[in-house]
Structure 1
Amino acid sequence: MTIRPLMAAVALALMLAACGGETGGHADETHADDDHGHGHASHDEGEAPKKGEHGGRLLEAEGHTVELAIAETGRPPTYQAWLYRDGKPLPPQAGSVEVRLKRLGDIAESHVLKPQADGSLMAATVVGEPHSFDVEVIAKIGGKSLRWAYESYEGRTVIPAQIAMDSGIRVAAAGPGEIADQHELQGLLTTVEGRAARVMARFPGPIRALRANVGDRVRVGQPLATVESNLSLTDYTVTAPISGVVMSRDATVGGVAGEGTSLFEIADLSSLWVDVHVFGADAQHIQPGVPIEVTRLSDGAKAVTTLERVLPGTATASQSTVARATIPNADGLWRPGSAVKARITVARKPAALVVPLSALQTFRDWDVVFIRVGDTYEVRPVELGDRDAERVEVRSGLKAGDQVVVEQSYLVKADIEKSGASHDH
C-alpha cells in the first residue's frame, strides 16, 4: 500500500471517530446471531438473539414462537421457519409466515413461506445478496396474528457527506458503455524515414571550424562547418540540408574531411515512428486504421494516434510482425531508440452496464462494488463480464443509475470491515 492511500484510510477513521463512530451495523449489533446476522427489535443493543434447535432466530410472543432461518446448504439462500406453541413444535399447517424486507433505497420484497413435508415452512423465493435489510415478520398461528420487526445489516456503513468528500470518495451512476478489445504490445521509437540527413563535405580538405554540437536545433541552410578545399585552397561553408536536431557529430576541428565524409547527422524529430511488435495470432486482428495509445516509460505520458500500416515482412530474430504509427513530438521528449508500451484497440463492443475498474473490490469471496444512497454505503456483489484497461461489464448485481463508488472504494470497504458489518457465511 502506498503512503497516500494509508493516510487517507487513517484520516477517514479519525473523522468518523470524531463524528461518533457512525458506521456499519448500527441498528442492533447482533451480526453473529445466525449465518446472516439477523437482529430482533426486542433485543437490547449488543445482546445476541435466542437460537432454536435448527439454528434459527427465535421470535416469541404470547406463548407462540417462530424460529426463522435462512437455509442455503445445497440450495440458494431461502427463508425457512418452524412453529411452536408453549415450546412445543407445531405442524407447518398450523400457521403461516411471511417475511417482508426493505432494502437500501426503499426496495421492498416479500417471501411467503409454505408448509413442507419435513415439518417446516419454506419460501420458494431466493434471498438475494447482500442480506442487508429491515425485516418484518408477519405470522398467524392458531388464528393469532403476530408481528416482529428488526434490522439486519451487513456490508453497510454510514459516512457523512463532508467526510466522504474530504476523503476523496466519489460516486458516479452506473450505465451503458463500451468494452474495448485491446492488445498490449511493446514498441520502439524511430525517426521517420526521409526526415534524417547526413551532412557531407563536398570537397576534401582540413576542417577549419565546426558550428554545431550534438543536441543543437538547426534550421535548413544554417552554416555548420568551414572546410578548406584541397583543390582551390579556399574555404567553403557546409550548411544544414534540413531543419532538425543534431544527432551526431563525426568531425573535429583540424581533422581532414574526405570527399563524401559525414560531418553531422541531423534528424527532424517533430514526429516519430512507433514500431510495435505483434506476435502470433494477434497479427491477424490488427489492421491499419485502428486507434493506438502509446505510453512513454519514463513518465507515463501518453499519445493517441492511428495505426498506419502493418509491414509485410516478419522480424527474423523475434518472428514478430511490425505495425507502425506516427506520433507528434512537439516537446521533443519522445526520443528515438526509446522503448514504449502500446495499446491497440481493434474493436469496441457495447455493454448495457459498465463501471470503472477503480470501483471493484473483493468482499468475502465476491467481486463487489459499493453503492451510495444518501450517506449510506452498501456492498453489491456483481457478476462481471468483459473488461478492458479502464472499465468492466457488469452482467448482474447492479441496475442503471445506481450511484457506484468509483474513487477511494477501498476506504468504504475498510470502514465496513472495521465496523463489524461483514461476517462469514
Structure 2
Amino acid sequence: MHQLSRSRSHGFARSAAVLLPCLLALAACKGGAGPADAQAKPGEKPPEAVPVEVAKAGRRAIAASYTGTAPLEPVAESQVVAKTSGVALAVLVEEGQPVRAGQTLVRLDSARAELQAAQTAAQMRKLEANYARAKQMAEQNLLSANDHDQLRFDLENARAANRLANLELSYANVEAPISGVIASRSIKTGNFVQINTPIMRIVDTSRLEATLNVPERELATLKPGLPVQLQVDALPGKTFKGAVARVAPVVDSGSGTFRVVCAFAAGGELQPGMFGRLRIDYDQRADALVVPRAALLDDESDPAVFVVQGGKSKRVPVKLGYLDGAWAEIRQGVKEGDQVVVAGKTALRDGSPVQVIAPAAKGAQVAAADAAAQR
C-alpha cells in the first residue's frame, strides 16, 4: 500500500511539471494582449499625409453683384425707305460709312416730279396775278364778294398743289432719318426703287444697350445709375464700363422677371450684336473677411471649408456673405489668418493628416490625390 501511494505521488508530480509551463505560457499570452494591441503592428504603415495647398483668410474690398448675359443692341435703328418710286441715279454711301441725320443717301430720277412742280408753279403764278387784279376791282366795287372769294380759294388751292409737287420732288433725294452707320445696303446705282421699300439700314452706334431679364427678388437692389462691367468674347481681356440706364417698374407675371437696361459708350470697339457678360455691382464692403472661392466645399446647402490645424484638416461650417469673382466673404466660422485648403480638398476627410506644399509644387501630387479620391 505504501509503495502504491508513492507511485501515485510521483505521477502527479510529473503531470504538474508538464502542465505548469503550459499554464504560464497561456497566462503570459492573455496578460500581454493589451500593450500589444495598443501599438501599431510592425508591418502596418501610418496613414499618409495628403498634399494640399492652402491660403490664409484675409481682408479686402468685396462687392455684391448681379451677373447675366445679353447681346448688345444699338440705342437707335432705322430702315431707310424711298417715299417715291424711281431709278436710282446715284447711291452715295457704302456699308460701314457714318452718316448724319438729313444727309442725302440716294438720288432718284426726278424728271417727272420737276415737271409737276413747274406746272403747279405756273398755275399758282397765274392765279396770284388774277387775284391781285380782283382785289383792286373789289376795292372799287367792280367785283362781287362771291367772285373775289372764289379767286382767293383757287389761289390757295394752287399754292397747296405746288407745295405738294415740291414735296414729291424732294423725295427724289433719299435722306438719312437718323445719325449712325450704314449697316446694310440693298440697292445699287441703276436699280429701280419702289415706293416705301427698305433700301438701307442705319444703326446709331454712339451708345449701345444690353437688356437683362432679372428675377423679381433683385427688384429692390438694382437701380438706375449703378455701375456695370461688360466683357465680350470678341475682345478677350478687355472690360468696358457702363451704367444701368433704365429699370422697368413692372414684373412680368409669366416669367417672374423685370427688364434692366444697361448702357455703354461704343468707343469704336464695341459693336451691335456682340454677346456680352454683364456684372452690376449694387453694394460694397471695404474691409470684408474673405477666402478664395476655391476653398468652398461643393455643398451649397451646407457651406464649409477645410482648415489646417496641427497638421490635420478640420471641416469647418461657414456662413457666407457676398461672392465676388474668385473671392467669398465669410461672415462666421473662420478667423483672419486661418489656413484654408484651396487644392487637394477632395482627398480630405475631417481629421486627415495633411502636408502643406507651395503653390509651385502643387503639380502632380495634388492632382493625383484628387483623382484618387474621385475614384
Q: TM-score, normalized by length of structure 2?
A: 0.51
Alpha-carbon offset, residue 404 of structure 1: 8.7
Q: Distance in 1 between matches of 2:327 and 2:286?
A: 12
RMSD: 4.9
**Corresponding residue for residue 212 of structure 2:** 276
Pairs within 5 Å for 1:95-106:
none
**Do the aligned residues in 2 keep the contact of 1:210 with 1:252 (CA within 8 Å)?**
yes
Deviation digits for residues 395-419 of structure 1 (CA, Å, limit 9, x no counterpart): 445533969979x959638536869
> 8 Å contact 2:230–2:277 — kept in the other structure?
yes
Q: Using the alignment, how far apart are the partners of 2:78 and 2:65 within structure 1?
A: 37
User: 8 Å contact 2:229–2:241 — kept in the other structure?
Assistant: yes
The 8 Å contact of residues 181 and 348 in structure 1, kept in 2 or not, is answered as yes
> 2:98 corresponds to which residue?
218
Q: For 1:412, which of 349, 362, 365 is the aligned residue?
A: 362
How far apart, in 2, do the equivalents of 1:263 and 1:287 lie? 40
Amino acid aligned to 2:86? G
2: distance between equivalents of 1:284 and 1:203? Answer: 51
Structure whose CA Rg is larger: 2
What is the aligned-residue identity percentage?
A: 22
The aligned residue for residue 330 of structure 1 is 267
C-alpha distance 181-261 of structure 1, shift in aligned 2 (>3 A): same
- Higher share of residues assigned helix: 2
Offset of residue 231 of structure 1: 0.8
1:9-408 equivalent positions in 2, closer than 5 A: 53=35, 56=38, 154-155=49-50, 174-192=57-75, 195-201=76-82, 203-214=84-95, 216-220=96-100, 223-229=104-110, 230-232=112-114, 237-240=173-176, 242-258=178-194, 261-297=197-233, 302-314=239-251, 318-336=255-273, 338-349=274-285, 352-358=288-294, 367-368=305-306, 383-386=317-320, 387-388=322-323, 389-394=325-330, 395-397=332-334, 399-400=336-337
- In the TM superposition, residue 335 of structure 1 has moved relative to its aligned partner by 2.1
SS in 1 for 2:328: strand
- Would the alpha carbon gap of residues 316 and 250 (structure 1) be closer, same or farther in structure 2, given more than 3 Å must change? farther
**For residues 355 and 173 of structure 1, what CA distance do their matches in structure 2 show?**
7
Code of the residue aligned with 2:98 in structure 1: it is V
Is the contact made by 1:218 and 1:240 (CA closer than 8 Å) also made in structure 2?
Answer: no
CA drift of 1:309 comes to 1.9
Could you say which residue in structure 1 is the equivalent of 2:132? none
Report the alpha carbon displacement of residue 320 of structure 1 after superposing the two structures with TM: 2.7
Change (3 A) 1:244 1:332: farther
Indicate how the Cα distance of structure 1 residues 316 and 265 shifts in structure 2: closer, same or farther if over 3 A, else same.
Answer: farther
Task: Give secondary structure in 1 for the equivalent of 2:249.
Answer: strand
**Distance in 2 (alpha carbons) for counterparts of 1:294 and 1:304:** 6
Further displaced range: 228-237 or 304-313: 228-237
Shift of 1:383: 4.3
TM-score by length of 1: 0.46
Change (3 A) 1:238 1:359: same
Deviation at 1:154, TM superposition (A): 3.8
Is the alpha carbon distance of 1:352 and 1:186 closer, same or farther for their aligned partners in structure 2, counting shifts above 3 Å?
Answer: closer
d(CA) in 1 for partners of 2:84, 2:368: 82
Deviation at 1:228, TM superposition (A): 1.1
Structure 1 208/189 Cα, relative in aligned 2: closer, same or farther at 3 Å? same
C-alpha contact (below 8 Å) 1:185/1:342 kept by paired residues: yes
Distance 2:289 2:253 in 1: 44
